[in-house]
Structure 1
Amino acid sequence: MSEKVYQLNSDQIGVVNFAEPWFLAHFEIEGEIEPVQIFFPSLAEGIKKFAAFFEEHVINHWLAQGAEGEKKIQDLREYLLTTWFNPGVETMREAMFQTYGYPEFKEKTGKELIENGYDFLGVTIGHICLRFNKNHFYFNGLHVSGRTVDKMLAVNFWSKVKQEAMNDIGTTVFK
């Protein structure tokens, strides 16, 4: 495979500012699957879709392992309930009905929510990453990282490529 080297000018490098912070998530299961990253274009969308993404890339991977994977999921639930109950499970439950307006979270306990399905489990892990554990969550080879991004360093390759293409057109001979 050839290596591409770009000669950049300082005017091609800059910062892109987002009007609303984006949410970046990273999932890695040590030694088992390739790390996966996803950008959600807002924190609200990240909160809505993080759980489904977590379920697809972590929970389903473990469920495919059979009884061993189901044990990993149960161990994760126990870890959250014993180590991250408050803050963590309870603070997320409270935020879901106070901040985000979901009344069904007021009636159930944190334990019920963690034990019932995978949605609240995933959202709680994202919440722990962002609020309480310096953007990371570790559990027995599972590494989840979540962060909000309000700006990004970017390179404008287009203007240089466009200029080179325009220069090549001037020297191209058409037959």
Structure 2
Amino acid sequence: MSEKVYQLNSDQIGVVNFAEPWFLAHFEVEGEVEPYQHFFPSLAEGIQKFPTVFEEKVINHWLAQGAAGQKKLRDLKDYLISTWMNPGIETMREAMFQTYGHPEFREKTGLELIETNNDFLAVVIGHICLRYNKSHFYFNGLHISGRTVDKMLAVNFWSKVKQEAMNDIGTTIFK
């Protein structure tokens, strides 16, 4: 394996600030080769689209395992119900109604929503990560981390590459 070494100047390193915090989700699922990270450009978009990514990376992976995967999903729901009913399931149900104005969350209980709605299951796990469990959620080979990010350390490679390319053009002999 080759090793890359970058010689950076201090003027190439800086902080990028986001006008609105981004939501970063990190997924590690036992049996998957690589962890997966997904950036959502706002918390609202994270809440809206996190369930789709959760279903793709976790639920579909488990369901592809057949009965063993269905058992994992059942065990996850049971764990959330027994450990994270309130705070967790109920606080997210209330927030979805009060903050985001979704009327269906007023009419159903948290238990009904967890049992019948995998999207709500995913949102609850994200809610637990952000509000109650120091940005992490662990369950039987599943690790999910959720963070809001308002700034990021960045490296500007392009100015150095551009300068080197311009220098190379100056010394190139055309025939």
TM-score, normalised by the number of residues in structure 2: 0.97
Listed as ranges, the matches of 1:49-128 within 5 Å are 49-128=49-128
Where does residue 16 of structure 1 map in the other structure? 16
Instruction: Determine whether 1:133 maps to 2:133.
Output: yes
Unaligned runs of 5+ in 1: none
Q: CA RMSD in A?
A: 0.9
CA distance, structure 1, for counterparts of residue 167 and residue 32 of structure 2: 49
Moved more, 18-27 or 31-40: 31-40
Moved more, 30-39 or 138-147: 30-39
Question: Which amino acid in the other structure matches residue 107 of structure 1?
Answer: E
Where does residue 37 of structure 1 map in the other structure? 37
Question: Which amino acid in the other structure matches residue 171 of structure 1?
Answer: T
* Cα displacement string for residues 136-172 of structure 1 (whole angstroms, at most 9, x for unaligned residues): 0011111010000000000000000011111111111
Question: Which amino acid in the other structure matches residue 55 of structure 1?
Answer: E
Give the deviation of 1:31 after TM superposition.
4.0
Give the deviation of 1:5 after TM superposition.
1.1
Where does residue 152 of structure 1 map in the other structure? 152
Moved more, 42-51 or 28-37: 28-37
Give the deviation of 1:6 after TM superposition.
1.0
Report the CA distance shift for 1:33/1:4 in structure 2 as closer, same or farther (over 3 A): closer
Report the CA distance shift for 1:63/1:162 in structure 2 as closer, same or farther (over 3 A): same
SS class of match (2:5) = coil
Question: Which amino acid in the other structure matches residue 53 of structure 1?
Answer: V
Large movers: runs of 4+ above 3 Å: none
CA distance, structure 2, for counterparts of residue 107 and residue 33 of structure 1: 41
CA distance, structure 2, for counterparts of residue 169 and residue 29 of structure 1: 48
SS class of match (2:26) = strand
* Cα displacement string for residues 36-59 of structure 1 (whole angstroms, at most 9, x for unaligned residues): 110001000000000110011000
SS class of match (2:174) = coil
Give the deviation of 1:33 after TM superposition.
4.0
Give the deviation of 1:173 after TM superposition.
0.6
